[in-house]
Every structure is written in structure tokens, then in C-alpha cells.
């Protein structure tokens, strides 16, 4: 029966009209042309992204891709996957937060029902006491004493039972709310982490950068921004394979995270580019810290799973900018990027900071 219903639904589904099919084919062709033009991998994620780009649906995809193209950064699989995840894929973290929010509402409703029940039982108990008080003023008080006492005991037991149910219900709801809080916090954290390197993602970096600028303006605090880029990372991927390339990224992220302190933020900014926010530090100290990280990373060895013998080696370059009055986040990124470009053009595996030779 279900199969028959499905067949009927298929038969009733309107087929694309010739004009619609023609439009779809043109968009498919245009999407493949973009894949060839930019040399991006022809996988389903990339195809879906370029199809949305040429179709301009949703418009945010076109804006994000155009912005990426204008920046001059390579259209690597990380950048494309980030745009696809944000605008085309289902956001599991946001869906989890929404589901948890609904559970919160249900928990609040449960608490409300428990309290209303308790209030109702309390009102009934007060009414019973009032009735007993009235009865004691009659001539038959002595004769009815045992009956009233029995009734009072019965009502007290009912009230005690209701209070017990209320307490138990509130305890269970409290435990449920605590668990939901933990799940919500976990979902929020997951939405701000890069799944490969386990450091913060670009969204978390932008949120923190905005807050850091506001704090610096309001409280006169200082901080530095570092942009770090792995040198000739494409060569690492081409020589050892993407799996080894991923291990190099994870090793670099782990090393930076270990050598920075608790208030610092380490984020994956692009495919092989990282951003580091260092609060309460002068640019000279930030420079010395990055030099230490650079030396430790260039001495690291990553095992390979390809046919190449030995282990993979990689180096990184760093550019540093410091907060100054009236500077915006974009100003600091531009300054750090300029310093990073200087480190690249003067030989790579270097640290350059604005204002320092």
C-alpha cells in the first residue's frame, strides 16, 4: 500500500518544464566551467557550491565567494567547505541548540505545572482548615471532633504527598535543566571549533576580535594579532598527500595552542593560515613568542603514509600587528597580513612585526 502511495506521489509530482530544464542545464554547465576555471576539486560539495554561485541562490553564497576571490586567497577545499557548511549544509550545532531550546521550554512548562498543582493543593488545604475552624464554633464541636481530626489528618497526608511530588518533580527538572545546559554549552563550543585541528574556527576568531577591539577602546587594554601561514603547503600536499598535510596542520595548531596561555585565542583562519590573538602583551614579547614557536615547529617531524620515505617537514611564517588607538579589526588584519607578506618575500620561515625590523 505504501509503495502504491509513493508511486502515486511520483506520478503527481510536476516534471520540470522545457524552459526549466534548459535553465538547469545551463547552470550545470556554468558550474563545471567555474570548477575548471579555478581548479577546484570536482567533488559534490564543490559542485553544489558553484551551482549555487552561478544560480545566485542563496545570494549569500555569491557574496562569500566573490569576497574570497577578491582577497586573492587560494580556493582550497577548506575555504570552499567553510562556505558550503555555513550557507548550504545543515548546521548541526544550530539544530542541536534549537532542539535543546525546545526542551528548555518543555522543562519550564513542567515546572509551571508542578507549581500550579502545589498551589492548588495548598488552597484546598487552607480551605479545609477554614472549614474545621468554622465547625468548632458549633454546639456539636465535641461530637464532631474525632471526625474533624480524621479529616484534618487525611488532608495533611494529601498535602504532604503533594509536597513530596512537587519536591521530587523539581529535583528531576533541575537535573534535566543542568544536563541541557551542559549539552547547550557543548553545542555552542562545537559550532566554534575547526573540526580538523580542534582549535577555534574563523567565526570564533571574528567574534573574539570584535570583543577585543571593544575592550581595548573601553579599558585601554592592549593586544597583538598574529597571522601565521605554512610555507609552501601545496608542496607538502603534492609530495606526501593530503592526509599528511592534515597531520601537519594539526601538529602546527597543537604546538601553537600548547605554547600560548589561557587567555590567548588560536584559530584556523584559512586553509593553511592561522590567526592568534594575544591579549595584554606588547609587540616585542609577541615577536619573541612567535620566534620560539617557529623554531619548535621547524624542528618537528610528521610521519608520512605515502610512498615517500622519511618524515614530512614544514615551516611557517608569521606577521604581527598591535592594537593602536582608533584601529579596527580590519586594520589589524591588514597590518598583520602586510607583515606576513614581508616574512614570505624575505625568505619564509620568518617572523615579521610592524614597527620592528
pLDDT at residue 7, as a whole number: 43
Would you state the cell numbers that stand for residue 20, as one nine-digit string?
A: 526549466
Edge-first strand listing for the sheet containing 273-279? 265-268, 273-279, 223-230, 316-322, 351-353
What are the CA-CA distances from residue 222 to residues 227, 262, 288, 290, 319 (Å)?
A: 17, 16, 17, 17, 17
Would you state the cell numbers that stand for residue 260, as one nine-digit string?
A: 600560548
Q: How many helices (H) and strands (E) does the chain have?
A: 12, 7
Against a cut of 0.85, is the pTM above it?
A: no
Residue 187 · residue 244 · CB < 8 Å: no
Q: Strand, coil or helix: what is 273?
A: strand
Q: Is 202-353 CATH 3.30.70.270? A: yes
Q: Report the C-alpha gap between 224 and 259 in whole angstroms.
A: 16
pLDDT at residue 37, as a whole number: 83
Would you state the cell numbers that stand for residue 356, as one nine-digit string?
A: 620592528
**pLDDT tens over the chain, length 357 residues:** 444 444 444 445 455 555 666 777 788 878 788 888 887 777 777 778 788 888 888 888 888 888 878 877 667 777 777 777 777 765 555 555 556 556 655 655 665 565 556 555 555 655 665 555 555 555 555 555 556 556 655 666 666 566 666 666 666 666 666 665 665 555 556 667 888 898 999 888 999 999 999 999 999 899 999 999 999 888 888 888 888 888 899 999 999 999 998 899 999 998 899 999 999 999 999 999 999 999 999 877 777 765 555 677 899 999 999 999 889 999 999 999 999 999 999 999 999 999 886
Amino acid at each position: 500500500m505504501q509503495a502504491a502511495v509513493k508511486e502515486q506521489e511520483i506520478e503527481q509530482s510536476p516534471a520540470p518544464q522545457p524552459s526549466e530544464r534548459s535553465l538547469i542545464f545551463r547552470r550545470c554547465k556554468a558550474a563545471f566551467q567555474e570548477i575548471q576555471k579555478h581548479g577546484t576539486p570536482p567533488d559534490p560539495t564543490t559542485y553544489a557550491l558553484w551551482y549555487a554561485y552561478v544560480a545566485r541562490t542563496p545570494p549569500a553564497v555569491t557574496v562569500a565567494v566573490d569576497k574570497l576571490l577578491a582577497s586573492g586567497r587560494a580556493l582550497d577545499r577548506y575555504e570552499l567547505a567553510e562556505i558550503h557548511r555555513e550557507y548550504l549544509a545543515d548546521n548541526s550545532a544550530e539544530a542541536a541548540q534549537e532542539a535543546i531550546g525546545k526542551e528548555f521550554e518543555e522543562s519550564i512548562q513542567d515546572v509551571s505545572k508542578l507549581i500550579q498543582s502545589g498551589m492548588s493543593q495548598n488552597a484546598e488545604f487552607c480551605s479545609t482548615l477554614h472549614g474545621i475552624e468554622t465547625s468548632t464554633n458549633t454546639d456539636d464541636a465535641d461530637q464532631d471532633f474525632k471526625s474533624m481530626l480524621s479529616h484534618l489528618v487525611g488532608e495533611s497526608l494529601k498535602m504532604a504527598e503533594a509536597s513530596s511530588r512537587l519536591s521530587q518533580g523539581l529535583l528531576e527538572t533541575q537535573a534535566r535543566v543542568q544536563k541541557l545546559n551542559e549539552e547547550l554549552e557543548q553545542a555552542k563550543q562545537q559550532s566554534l571549533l575547526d573540526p580538523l585541528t580542534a582549535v577555534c574556527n574563523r567565526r570564533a576568531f571574528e567574534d573574539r576580535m570584535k570583543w577585543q577591539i571593544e575592550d581595548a577602546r573601553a579599558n585601554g587594554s592592549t593586544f597583538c594579532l598574529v597571522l601565521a601561514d605554512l610555507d609552501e603547503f601545496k608542496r607538502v600536499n603534492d609530495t606526501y598527500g593530503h592526509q599528511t598535510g592534515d597531520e601537519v596542520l594539526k601538529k602546527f595548531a597543537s604546538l601553537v595552542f600548547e605554547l600560548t596561555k589561557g587567555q590567548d585565542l588560536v584559530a584556523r583562519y584559512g586553509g593553511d593560515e592561522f590567526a592568534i590573538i594575544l591579549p595584554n602583551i606588547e609587540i616585542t614579547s609577541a615577536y619573541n613568542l612567535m620566534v620560539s614557536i617557529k623554531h619548535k615547529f621547524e624542528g618537528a617531524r610528521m610521519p608520512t603514509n605515502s610512498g615517500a620515505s622519511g618524515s614530512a617537514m614544514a615551516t611557517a611564517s608569521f606577521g604581527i600587528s598591535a592594537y593602536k588607538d582608533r584601529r579596527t579589526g580590519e586594520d589589524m588584519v591588514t597590518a598583520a597580513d602586510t607583515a606576513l607578506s614581508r616574512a614570505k618575500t624575505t625568505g619564509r620561515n620568518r617572523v615579521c612585526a610592524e614597527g620592528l625590523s
